[in-house]
Structure 1
Amino acid sequence: MANTSLESIAQKMRKLDIAALTTMTDSGELATRPMSNNGDVEYDGNSYYFTFEQSRTVSDIGRNPRVSLAFEGKDGLYVSVAGTAELIRDKAQFEEHWVPDLDKWFDQGADTPGLVLLKVKAGRIKLWQGEDSEEWKA
């Protein structure tokens, strides 16, 4: 497995939207759900996802911020991200990452009550494509 730069991995991750986000529950089990970054895909080591305050995702991250993301792209591209999640409740940051497609999920836009923005900061990224693999560590 070759070590690589974040920029190299980011180039390959361009336009990847849907991730499987895994958290640890209060009973120590793993919980995974699909999340969309709604086109906010200019990857710099951080991923952003919106959810509701009352979600299991938020309660899991509140107890244990260590998470993983899994992406699948075209041409046999697979990406695994191990990182730390942060819960953001600042409306200015909501607006910075808001796109109109989110309106179908959050009917009052960035003003939707109970809205939370998840920021996942990568600590390690592994990428596989065919027989090639790469790894980046923060």
Structure 2
Amino acid sequence: MATKTLHELSETMRKIDFCTLFTRTEGGALAGRPMSNNGDVEYEGDSYFFTYEEARTVSDIERDENVAMSFRGNEGLLGKPPIFITIEGKAEAIREKAQFEAHYTKDLDRWFEQGTDTPGLVLLKVHASRIHYWDGEEEGELTV
């Protein structure tokens, strides 16, 4: 039974910079790659990530919008186990500069030197449908 709320999970996810985003390749295999949420987690079921147009992630999503994400939090106090969060959802590739501006942070300049004017920049939006978490001996599932 889920005891954590979506807001509580959002606060936890804000502290986890990287997740693994899984897509389905053209051949049907699962492909995972690390993605930074950059602290952009006012989480109500949507996650945003920047990438390049030529990344296989984009073509995978345009062929099959079903994706999964996996987050792992840091160890808690007094040896408490870390939290694990998995999310299933649907993804889309966004190419609108106004959306780039809404989700871009200066920390991304490390990968995208021209900011939101970087040629080939794409914003990925993942809308969650199901969230499962394990936090020590507690586990739960939410639908969004």
2:116 equivalent to 1:110: yes
**Where does structure 2 lack aligned partners over 5 or more consecutive residues?**
77-81
Alpha-carbon distance, 1:15 to partner:
1.9
Distance across 1 between alignment mates of 2:100 and 2:117: 9
1:121 match: 127
Partner of 1:42 in structure 2?
A: 42
Equivalent-residue separation in structure 2 for 1:29 and 1:35 (angstroms): 19
What is the CA distance between 1:38 and its match in structure 2?
1.4
1:43 counterpart letter in structure 2? Y
Q: Distance in 2 between matches of 1:110 and 1:10?
A: 25
Which position in structure 2 is the counterpart of 1:94? 100
Between the aligned partners of 2:140 and 2:17, the Cα distance in structure 1 is 20
Query: For 1:84, which of 84, 90, 109 is the aligned residue?
Result: 90
2:58 match: 58
- RMSD over equivalenced CA pairs, Å: 1.3
Q: TM-score, normalised by structure 1?
A: 0.94
Retained in 1: the 8 A contact 2:14–2:40?
no
Number of matched residues? 138
Bigger shift: residues 33-42 or 121-130 = 33-42
Contact 1:16 1:41 survives alignment (8 Å): no
SS of aligned partner of 1:107 = coil
Shift of 1:3: 6.3
One-letter amino acid of the counterpart of residue 89, structure 1: R
- Counterpart check, 1:134 vs 2:140: yes
Amino acid at match of 1:93: Q
Q: Secondary structure at the match of 2:129?
A: strand
SS at match of 1:78: strand
Mark the runs of 5 or more structure 1 residues left unpaired by the alignment. none
**Which residue does 1:24 correspond to in 2?**
24
The equivalent of 1:73 in structure 2 is: 73
Cα deviation 1:26-64 (Å, max 9, x = unaligned): 000000000001121222211100000011000000100
